[in-house]
Amino acid sequence: MQALQRLSRSEETAILELVRANDLDERKLACFMTRQQDSGRGVLPDTGGLSGNHFNISYNLMLCEYCGNLEPGAVCPAKAAELKERMRELNA
């Protein structure tokens, strides 16, 4: 999963003000953190001295289920992008 860039403070504030002005639940826009874990094995690319060596990698992190960020935001970038797209469709 690739993390999305966090929203700027001004953009986050504007979205939250819009949501509040329409009496919507702003908590639904927040990042939804879940424990994600995986492991795997790989081989170093052919770049010189250590090429061909195998390595193991694993992770066990709390990540946003939607945007992949480590730190939760009041407005998830993935949910904000979806909200913006829906608003464009309504205005079309």
pLDDT in tens, 21-68: 999 999 999 999 999 999 998 887 776 666 667 888 898 999 999 999
The C-alpha atoms of residue 68 and residue 73 are separated, in whole angstroms, by 11
Burial class (CB in 10 A: 0-12, 13-18, 19+), 43: exposed
DSSP reduced 3-state for 62:
strand
Q: What would the pLDDT profile of 69-83 be if each residue is shown by its tens digit?
A: 999 999 999 999 998
